[in-house]
């Protein structure tokens, strides 16, 4: 199987909302957002440029919530400095009398992904011999947006998938963060999971609280976004199809 490339598909439309599934809070709506943001030296949001169209009332509520988040400030020569970074995250709209209440469910910051390459699934999972495999990589996004200093932090499953992940992640491309208009290198984590458990996504180990990942919000773990490949049995034909959920 040849490698699958996702060019720009990783950039999700701002504030796409879908109803919460049955069994969760009735009437609640889930969505996600992304866009470039300015973070000051104190770790406070100063501006947010959405990466897609959004209803004004939702965007106003999102900005209010983001301004209440304390981000880890960027450091240059040991000094905190303003940063232009790419924010991505999720939210829930909860019913509140005649109006709705927007609550952030996740926020992360880092360089903007431009090109992603999805690794090939392991043959053992494609053949139904295993149920899952995952790899957590750490790498540096350089000032030119390329991947360097790529390493495997932890993994479970076959060495075949680890090699596929390493080869795929090395081809990723980004638009880097900037400080005063100058691009800066950023250390990034990324999780890759392939699973045949289509009813739920298996839990991965927690991450140490350090500065190695894109999640740089005070009080959160340094776990990265998760790229999930779910193998779904298609009864109308032999074999399996691969459904990819981008981070």
> DSSP letter string over 88-125?
EEEEEEEEETTEEEEEEEEEEEEPEEEEEEEPPPPHHH
Average confidence score pLDDT of the chain: 77
Do 133 and 96 share a structural domain? no
pLDDT of residue 19: 45
The two beta strands, 186-195 and 182-183, are unpaired
The residue with greater pLDDT, 235 or 184, is 184
What 3-state DSSP class applies to 225?
coil
117: in domain: yes
Do 238 and 153 share a structural domain? yes
Strand residues in the chain grouped as ranges (E): 4-7, 16-19, 29-39, 45-50, 74-76, 79-81, 83-96, 99-110, 112-118, 132-141, 147-156, 173-175, 178-179, 182-183, 186-195, 226-233, 240-245
pLDDT of residue 73: 82
59, 75, 109 - which closes a domain: 109
Query: The CATH number of the domain where 193 resides is what?
Result: 3.30.2420.10
Do 145 and 23 share a structural domain? no
pLDDT of residue 236: 38
Q: Please check the confidence at residue 246 and state whether its pLDDT lies above 60.
A: no
Interval 13-64: pLDDT, tens: 344 444 444 344 457 788 889 999 999 999 899 999 998 777 888 899 999 9
The residue with greater pLDDT, 30 or 217, is 30
Do 97 and 201 share a structural domain? no
pLDDT of residue 233: 52
109, 141, 175 - which closes a domain: 109
The total domain count for the chain is 2
Do 140 and 87 share a structural domain? no
pLDDT of residue 228: 75
79: in domain: yes
Do 76 and 116 share a structural domain? no
- Could you list the residue range(s) of the whole structural domain that residue 186 is in? 111-245
The residue with greater pLDDT, 182 or 70, is 182
The residue with greater pLDDT, 195 or 172, is 172
**Cα-Cα-Cα-Cα dihedral sign, residues 23, 24, 28, 34:** negative
Q: CB of 117 within 8 A of CB of 140?
A: no
Give percent above pLDDT 70 in the chain: 70
Among 122-126, 221-225, 233-237, where is mean pLDDT lowest? 233-237
Q: Please check the confidence at residue 85 and state whether its pLDDT lies above 90.
A: yes
Retrieve residue 98's tokens: 């005649």
Do 101 and 123 share a structural domain? no
8: in domain: no
């Amino acid at each position: 199987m040849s490698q699958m490339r996702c060019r720009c598909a990783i950039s999700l439309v701002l504030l796409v909302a879908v109803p919460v599934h049955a069994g969760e809070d009735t009437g609640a709506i889930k969505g996600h957002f992304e866009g470039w943001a300015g973070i000051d030296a104190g770790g406070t949001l100063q501006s947010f440029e959405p990466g897609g169209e959004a209803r004004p009332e939702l965007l106003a509520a999102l900005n209010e919530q983001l301004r209440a988040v304390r981000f880890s400030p960027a450091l240059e020569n040991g000094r905190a400095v303003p940063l232009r970074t790419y924010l991505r995250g999720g939210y829930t709209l909860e019913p509140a009398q005649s109006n709705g209440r927007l609550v952030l469910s996740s926020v992360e910051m880092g360089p903007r992904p431009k090109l992603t390459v999805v690794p090939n699934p392991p043959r053992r999972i494609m053949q139904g011999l295993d149920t899952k495999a995952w790899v957590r990589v750490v790498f540096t996004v350089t000032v030119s947006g390329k991947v360097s200093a790529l390493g495997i932090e932890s993994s479970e499953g076959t060495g075949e998938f680890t090699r596929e992940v390493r080869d795929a992640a090395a081809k990723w491309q980004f638009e880097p963060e900037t400080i005063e208009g100058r691009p800066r290198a950023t250390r990034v984590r990324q999780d890759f999971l392939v699973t045949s458990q289509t009813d739920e996504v298996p839990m991965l180990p927690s991450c140490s609280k350090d500065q190695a990942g894109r999640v740089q919000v005070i009080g959160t773990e340094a776990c990265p976004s998760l790229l999930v490949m779910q193998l779904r049995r298609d009864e109308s034909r032999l074999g399996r199809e691969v459904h990819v959920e981008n981070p």
